[in-house]
């Protein structure tokens, strides 16, 4: 008897409708927060930022799509708010 279940080949299933209960709905505020964070995240692509703006405007939160000028400058120059951590080489003890 296997400990963690059996291995079955993955089959693709298509769900046509999905039922959500009241407890499993997406919180619109958290969805909007994700789009807002995509606007200021430096590694988000230009098309990703455009999509985030479109989605926020579609949600009726068009005023929250503003990105501060300094954020745009930092993004263009590749400046990070906090320095990256560098990997420390393992120390050898003699």
Per-residue pLDDT at 47 = 94
Q: Is 9 left (phi over 0), alpha (psi -120 to 50) or beta?
A: beta
Q: Is 35 helix (H, G, I), strand (E, B) or coil?
A: helix
Per-residue pLDDT at 60 = 92
**pTM above the 0.85 mark?**
no
Going by C-alpha positions, the residue among 34, 29, 31, 30 that lies closest to residue 49 is 34
* Mean local confidence (pLDDT), 84-90: 69
* Per-domain boundaries in the chain: 25-77
For the stretch 2-57, pLDDT in tens is 566 666 666 655 555 556 566 778 889 999 999 998 988 878 899 999 999 999 99
Helix (H) or strand (E) holding 74: helix 69-77
């Amino acid at each position: 008897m296997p400990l963690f279940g059996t291995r079955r080949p993955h089959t693709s299933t298509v769900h046509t409708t999905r039922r959500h209960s009241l407890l499993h709905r997406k919180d619109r505020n958290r969805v909007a927060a994700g789009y807002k964070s995509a606007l200021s995240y430096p590694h988000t692509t230009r098309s990703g930022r455009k999509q985030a703006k479109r989605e926020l405007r579609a949600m009726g939160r068009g005023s929250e799509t503003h990105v501060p000028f300094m954020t745009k400058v930092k993004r263009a120059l590749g400046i990070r708010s906090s320095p990256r951590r560098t990997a420390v080489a393992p120390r050898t003890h003699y």
